[in-house]
């Protein structure tokens, strides 16, 4: 067993925000291990046996097979879909409503004793997974890109013994809203539908607001956090990676960031168990910023999304009017990134 504290960097984001890019970049940094959306291994991995980014099915992947063996004596004794239902029930507090309703009970589980019991049961299943990942990864910082508030809150409130820090990854709300209007084929079991659900822009704006406000709340409560804007990560990844590494007191040298080049990023396959399809790409990838929304999000929808999200847009340094480069508050020559599609 590897000696030392289990260190986890939770990427807190809305989805469709470029968070897979941040996770994969950190996964290339010495001392970090990107493991994907850990909270989704139960259905996507154990249940559906989806491919890891190394190309092997989850149960056959060398890293994840070792994790299952160390944590539970193998994955065969775990009903992954049942654990996934427990995960979702905690997020919705048994109401069938969207995720926010579970957050007060995760912070204060004594408000609802039966809910507290479920939190403990789920935490009891997650803790061995993180400990096993820590051991298999040789004590590296684990980069968990699960994103959703309920999972991040569980990590920071209900996982004693794990050193959790947060990279709050933010994308312009208008880009997020446009991404949610697209038809995107789902991964995993066909029984759960062939395409990801779409949202009208106003609903995406509301979701963007409460996700980001929930993560801001954790920072105000003292959880060590750093904000990383997608647009900043696109234009100059190295300073953003240094800021995130600084959460754990790590000072990255130029050699540590040798995978960042002017013409692209060198990505190794890694062992990312769940996330966007882009996790399966490797080699030198010339990434470009996704600004499709600037042309294709209608004027009415853009104004509506801007109005709903205006307070947080300003908080995070986005402009709310003007030409594209002013709206995004970005540099003149964007170069690298790809968002989740």
Give the confidence band of 16 by pLDDT, cuts at 50, 70, 90.
confident
Q: What is the reported pTM?
A: 0.89
In this prediction, what percent of the chain has a pLDDT beyond 70?
A: 87
CB 93 within 8 A of CB 106: no
The domain limits of the chain are: 6-328
Measured CA to CA, the distance from residue 67 to residue 160 in angstroms comes to 20
Q: What is the secondary structure of 187-256 as a DSSP string?
A: PS-GGG-SB-----HHHHHHHHHHHHHHHHHHHHTT--EEEEEHHHHHH-HHHHHHHHHHTTT----TGG
More confident residue, 128 or 321: 128
**pLDDT tops 50 at residue 340:** no
Widest Cα–Cα separation across the chain: 58
Fold of 6-328: Rossmann fold (3.40.50)
Burial class of residue 188, CB neighbours in 10 A (0-12, 13-18, 19+): middle
**The two structure tokens encoding residue 123:** 């935490």
Which of 275, 293, 291 has the alpha carbon at shortest distance from 181? 293
The 3-state DSSP class for residue 16 equals coil
């Amino acid at each position: 067993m590897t000696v030392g504290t289990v260190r986890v960097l939770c990427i807190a984001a809305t989805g469709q925000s470029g968070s897979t890019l941040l996770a994969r970049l950190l996964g290339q940094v010495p001392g970090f291990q990107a493991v994907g959306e850990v909270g989704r291994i139960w259905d996507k991995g154990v249940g559906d046996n989806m491919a890891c980014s190394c190309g092997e099915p989850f149960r056959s992947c060398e890293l994840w097979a070792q994790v299952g063996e160390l944590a539970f004596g193998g994955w065969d004794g775990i009903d992954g879909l049942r654990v996934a239902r427990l995960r979702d029930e905690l997020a919705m507090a048994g109401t069938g409503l969207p995720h926010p309703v579970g957050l007060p009970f995760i912070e204060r589980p004594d408000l609802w004793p039966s809910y507290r019991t479920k939190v403990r049961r789920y935490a009891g299943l997650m803790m061995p997974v993180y400990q096993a990942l820590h051991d298999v990864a040789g004590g590296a910082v684990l980069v968990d890109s699960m994103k959703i508030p309920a999972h991040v809150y569980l990590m920071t409130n209900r996982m004693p013994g794990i050193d959790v820090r947060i990279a709050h990854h933010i994308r312009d709300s208008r880009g997020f809203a446009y991404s949610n209007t697209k038809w995107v084929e789902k991964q995993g079991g066909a029984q759960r539908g062939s395409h990801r659900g779409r949202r009208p822009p106003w609903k995406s704006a509301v979701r963007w607001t409460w996700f980001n406000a929930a993560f801001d709340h954790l920072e105000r409560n003292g959880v060590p956090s750093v904000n990383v804007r997608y647009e900043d990560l696109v234009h100059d990844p190295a300073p953003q990676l240094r800021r995130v590494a600084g959460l754990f007191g790590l000072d990255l040298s130029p050699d540590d960031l040798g995978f960042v080049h002017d013409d692209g990023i060198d990505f190794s396959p890694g062992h990312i168990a769940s996330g966007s399809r882009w996790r399966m790409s490797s080699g030198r990838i010339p990434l470009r910023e996704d600004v499709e929304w600037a042309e294709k999000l209608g004027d009415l929808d853009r104004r509506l999304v801007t109005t709903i999200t205006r307070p947080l847009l300003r908080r995070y340094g986005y402009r709310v009017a003007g030409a594209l480069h002013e709206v995004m508050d970005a540099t003149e020559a964007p170069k690298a990134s790809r968002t989740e599609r």
